[in-house]
Amino acid sequence: MKSLFSTRMKPLLFACVILFSQACSKSSDNVIGSGDVDFQMTDAPSDDASINGVFVTVSDIKVDGTSISGFSKQTIDLKAFQEGNAKLVATTRLTAKDYSNLTLVLDADADATGAAPGCYVLTTDGTKYKLKSSGTITVTLNNSWTVVANSKSTIILDFNIRKAIRQISDQAIRYNFSSSDNLQTSIRLVNQSKVGTINGNYSETTTITADKIFVYAYKKGTFDSGIETTPQGDDAILFKNAVTSAEVRGSLSARSYKLAYVEAGDYELHFASYIKDVSNHYVFQNLLTAQLSVNGSAASVVTVQAGINSSVSSTITGI
């Protein structure tokens, strides 16, 4: 009897084990899964009037140390993508899970067509200034983000030109990338599903004499005027701790600004006036006193919500 039972049951048990294993495998696949990811680039404005374009050549994108598929070397004029406009750099498919970092590899020597240089500033007189003597620049952004199974994620890489690039006294070189630490912090990595937009109208009750007005967004309680209006470090960065910034544009009767890809949270807005010097560079002049109205109500901070456009009226009342 024992022998007969073993003979009959062994094939059945073996089949059950196989089916159970396959079921577990399929269940695991469904739980983990994968999702599509778009990587896009955008830019916050520079205060240098002589800059016509800032070109970076991305030769590789790595996620947690592994190069992504679906990417080919690209040269991008960062200055062409501002105020919510973004350049699609790559689309790939990744395992659905949490990721801890993203690495950009920039080619200083050759652009996407093989022409030199790869990373450079183009000034208004048509001159190209290489941003690094030679080789590659590796920038790792230690920001956590998530890919959801069977869904598309859009990751925005927001360069801030005024933090990423510094001027050199040697006019033959003229521009260079900022230090490694400052270059890293000059790029924000945000998930588009978690950001909102601040659309602002600008007016003055007192006339401000300036060639440019810029607005800076700070997380609530982080702005220190004594620090932020003093050039910081070897790269001499003003308003270094601002999350993002924008230029106030338009005519005297209809001026506005747009702060795009702002992560959800509470923000203070601070305005500054600039004048243009003999070298065609905008120089900080004054902080401006502003009264804010958010969605029709007086406010000291702007609360940004994901997927929402916040309407802000900013009235400058003095210096």
- The torsion defined by the Cα of 267, 88, 134 and 172, in degrees rounded to 10, comes to -70
Alpha helices in the chain (DSSP H): 2-32, 161-164, 180-185, 225-228
Identify whether 26 is part of a domain: no
Q: What is the model's pLDDT at position 152?
A: 96
The answer to whether the Cα torsion of 169, 280, 186, 240 is positive or negative is positive
Q: Are strands 51-63 and 102-107 parallel, antiparallel or unpaired?
A: antiparallel
Identify whether 1 is part of a domain: no
- 230-278 confidence digits (pLDDT tens): 999 999 999 999 999 999 999 877 999 999 999 999 999 999 999 999 9
At 133, the pLDDT band (50, 70, 90 cuts) reads confident
Identify whether 136 is part of a domain: yes
Please state, rounded to an integer, the average pLDDT across all residues of the chain.
91
Q: What is the model's pLDDT at position 253?
A: 79
Identify whether 222 is part of a domain: yes
Cα–Cα distances in angstroms (integers) from residue 83 to residues 22, 71, 78, 193, 195, in the given order: 50, 25, 12, 17, 14
Instruction: Please state, as a whole number, how many other Cβ atoms lie within 10 Å of the Cβ of residue 70.
Output: 12
Quote the CA–CA distance of 258 and 202 in Å, as a whole number: 11
Cα–Cα distances in angstroms (integers) from residue 29 to residues 26, 66, 71, 98, 145, in the given order: 5, 21, 25, 16, 21
Give the domain extent around 167.
34-318
Q: What is the model's pLDDT at position 236?
A: 94
Identify whether 23 is part of a domain: no
Number of folded domains that form the chain: 1
Phi–psi pair at 300, nearest 5 degrees? -100, -20
Contact 73, 119 (CB under 8 A): no
Percent of the chain with pLDDT over 90: 83
Residue showing tokens 């003597």: 133
Identify whether 19 is part of a domain: no
SS3 state of residue 234: coil
Identify whether 221 is part of a domain: yes
Identify whether 6 is part of a domain: no
- 4-52 confidence digits (pLDDT tens): 445 554 554 444 444 444 544 444 444 579 999 999 999 999 989 999 9
